[in-house]
Amino acid sequence: MHGPVARQRRRLLRPGRHLLIVTTFGLCSYGILTGTAPQAAPPPPDAGKPTPPTSPISQWRKALDQKGDFVLQNVSLKEAIENIGRQAKIPVEIDLSVANFGLDVISPIINLEMRDVTVKKALDKLLTPFNLHYALLPQGLIVSSEEGVTARQLRQRVQVSFEQLVLSEIVDHLVQSTGANLVLDPRLPTPSRRISLRLPQEMPLEQAVRLVAELSDLRVVRLGNTLIITTPERAERLRTDADGPTTPLPPNPSLPPFVVPGGAPLFPGAVPGFPGIGADRGVEDGVAEIAVPRPAAKPAEKK
């Protein structure tokens, strides 16, 4: 088509022009012409997958990096630790086994003022003089000795239940859910073997990691509070500098927090007379004891 009409049509059909189209049915449509045909937007990469819940440990890690002012005046070590945890909005547990090393967390009186420091630095400055350490667990922040923190982290019980996951996915899930230091050797080839495993009972985290590594023909070496998953050859070379598997903590002889000296249950529903909870526990000269019920005397036999 030539002439003024053709030139007018070419101007109307240029990309970016607003166009009003009248159909044979009398309906109008309005749009903007572009240089390419319209295409549907691609779905997001995680479309159809449920959003995983936010792990409290990841939130607490961020809280440890937050800065603030910490003023601790005339408070016990226990109160100082709890105040920092309360300010950071992290539940705090002080391991009672520190009493086995002669440390009474009630006796030391703290006078400490820290301005514009992270929660990490505040905890380090408070705990280092007492040779105490801390770590994150699913229950919150645990304060104990270095060995106690490592044992609590690596021996926390986990449920082993997963379907068709590669090793890197399993390790990442355990790190996010437990807060433990797990390292998958970056020199390993990209894992492709998918593992399915379901155990009826929970097991310590360290044993679970060793089991999963064995299923991938790998080995685990512990360096302090860190488990490294690597090849059998590299694991053998690391063993001279490595630590052995963690051992269970011994029973704690200290008075549990849910026991009131004198035998009265602290919380409703406690069973009086149950060793360690009710009236069978007595306190004499400041030392808690568990009284073992004596067997009833046998009636005298008739002669």
Domain 157-238 has CATH 3.30.1370.120: yes
Identity at 131, one-letter amino acid code: N
Supply φ then ψ for residue 62, to 5 degrees: -65, -40
Q: How many helices (H) and strands (E) does the chain have?
A: 8, 16
Ramachandran category for residue 16: left, alpha or beta (phi over 0 → left; psi -120 to 50 → alpha): left
Structural class in CATH, domain 56-144: alpha beta
CA-to-CA separations, 134 to 81, 198, 280, in angstroms, rounded: 11, 32, 34
Identity at 257, one-letter amino acid code: P
CA-nearest of 210, 209, 61 to 137 is: 61
Domain span(s) for CATH 3.30.1370.120 in the chain? 157-238
Contact 166, 197 (CB under 8 A): no
The token duo for 64 is 């440890």
Model pLDDT for residues 25-76, shown as the tens digit of each residue: 444 444 444 444 445 555 554 443 334 445 799 999 999 999 999 999 999 9
Decide if pLDDT at 84 tops 90. Answer: yes
Decide if pLDDT at 278 tops 50. Answer: no
Model pLDDT for residues 106-147, shown as the tens digit of each residue: 888 999 999 999 999 999 999 999 999 999 999 999 999 999
pLDDT of amino acid 283? 33
The token duo for 292 is 């073992």
Give the number of other Cβ atoms within 10 Å of residue 290's Cβ.
11
Q: Where are the beta strands (DSSP E) in the chain?
A: 18-22, 28-32, 67-76, 92-94, 109-118, 133-137, 140-144, 157-158, 161-165, 181-184, 195-198, 203-204, 219-223, 226-230, 281-284, 287-290
Domain span(s) for CATH 3.55.50.30 in the chain? 56-144
pTM reported for the whole predicted model? 0.62
